[in-house]
Amino acid sequence: MGYIALIAWFVTALGGLYMLVVWLIENDATDQRRSASRLPLPVIVGHVLLALTGLSVWVAYLVLDRRALAWIALGILCGIALLGFTMFARWIPVYRTADAVAAAPVLVPSGAAAEPAQFADATPPEGNFPLVVVIAHGTFAVSTVALVLLTALGVGGS
């Protein structure tokens, strides 16, 4: 079961890496027209660093087969989940706003030409995350926590 947890953790990391790349591409600090991100940089960096640390500890557990490492990885996962829930809670209003803006009709007075470059982009960088990636990342993250917990408890062998 430990290797299944590793696969789930790796798939979760791939989804997170995709969202990080989208956020980095869209988060152009020099573009004054873009709305600021609602995801604080320390939270993002902490989430990524904890995820990499936890994954390393989990690999060490699989190699060394020391039960203490499984519990340490689970503790690290709790910190990762806390930061992940924080970012998810801050992302929900951005997603709802971006969805409402996309659905709203744009009215341009007759005879007036609107240039898109003149208007600020009201969507923060995280508003560009595909919903399916966010849901998959969260689902695999919850599965990873459950699998690591079960492995640490000794369910299914090591």
The more confident residue out of 61 and 108 is 61
12 lies in a domain?
yes
What pLDDT was estimated at residue 28?
A: 72
For the chain, the domain total comes to: 1
pLDDT digits (tens, 9 = 90+) for 58-86: 999 999 999 999 999 999 999 999 999 99
What pLDDT was estimated at residue 113?
A: 52
77 lies in a domain?
yes
Q: How would you label 91-113 residue by residue, b for 16+ Cβ within 10 Å and e otherwise?
A: beebbebbeeeeeeeeeeeeeee
pLDDT digits (tens, 9 = 90+) for 113-139: 555 444 455 688 888 899 999 999 999
The more confident residue out of 29 and 14 is 14
145 lies in a domain?
yes
CB 76 within 8 A of CB 54: yes
30 lies in a domain?
no
The tokens for 61 are 């557990």
What pLDDT was estimated at residue 133?
A: 95
78 lies in a domain?
yes
pLDDT grade for 99, boundaries at 50, 70 and 90: low
What pLDDT was estimated at residue 119?
A: 46
pLDDT grade for 10, boundaries at 50, 70 and 90: very high
How far is the C-alpha of 89 from the C-alpha of 92, rounded, in Å? 6
The more confident residue out of 12 and 39 is 12
> Residue 91's domain spans which residues?
2-22+39-98+123-152
117 lies in a domain?
no
144 lies in a domain?
yes
How far is the C-alpha of 151 from the C-alpha of 137, rounded, in Å? 21
- Average model confidence (pLDDT) across the chain: 86
Indicate left, alpha or beta for 2 from its phi (over 0: left) and psi (-120 to 50: alpha). Answer: alpha
In the chain, % of residues over pLDDT 90: 61
94 lies in a domain?
yes
* Mean local confidence (pLDDT), 92-111: 64
